[in-house]
Amino acid sequence: MLEIIRIPVLSDNYVWLVHEPQSKETMVVDPAVAEPVLAEAEKRGWTITQIWNTHWHPDHTGGNAEIKAATGCHITGPEAEQERIPTLDTLVKQGDTVKLGDVTAEVIDVPAHTAGHIAFHIASDSAAFVGDTLFAMGCGRLFEGTAAQMYDNMRKLEALPGSTQVYCAHEYTQSNGEYALVAEPDNQALQDRMTEVLAMRKRGEATVPTTIALERATNPFMRASSAEELSERRVAKDNF
């Protein structure tokens, strides 16, 4: 089983440190910055061998160069964004696989937040690293793509097993939930979830990872009945 550690950085980012105990390989997902990631790995006696990037934004790639300089790690990221992530060693796209020791991740294309955004699904460990595409009760802003693309992304992700742990990159859950209650005021599962989220945040606890099953029940973007409805909800959330 993978060991997956949450590292909070910047104002609301989460970097994921992933250790495969058999091979002793350690990977970082979307390092916004280097110092706290290197410190956490050192504290645990782990050597970072890989970085996996989901998209080019600086709060997901800003630590690449420094971590690579310190460890000599190998960096994998989206083929479609290679010009915007100069530190990449391996370029991947939909259907490709990436390995951490003997553990295999499948690459899923999920463009919309950025044009070449990807996600990594590790079926053996029921884990998905989704960057800024899917959040707890939310989805990423449509900076470089369309609502139709995001609607398609939601179909790809909701098709994963319900038990899949979803490792998104920001602590946006409370604000997402406040909008979700407006979008779906009669959703009892959503009401129950927000009660739990508010209690967790009051205790200073993180609310991610989430699960695919939870998102199917409570995420107004995954639950949108069409690309048009998703578009309307995204505009409403942007102005919420």
Task: Catalogue the active-site residues.
Answer: 55, 57, 59-60, 113, 132, 170
Q: Is the alpha carbon torsion for 184, 218, 113, 172 positive or negative?
A: positive
Of 13, 36, 15, 14, the C-alpha closest to 27 is: 15
Rounded-to-integer distance, Cα 196 and Cα 158, Å: 22
- Return phi, psi of residue 198, to 5°: -60, -40
Query: 92: number of CA atoms within 13 Å, CB side?
Result: 26
48's enclosing H/E stretch is strand 48-52
The two tokens of residue 103 are 């553990």
DSSP 3-state of 7: strand
- Say how many Å lie between the first and final Cα of the chain, rounded: 40
Of 43, 32, 31, the C-alpha closest to 73 is: 31
Of 138, 131, 153, 147, the C-alpha closest to 57 is: 131
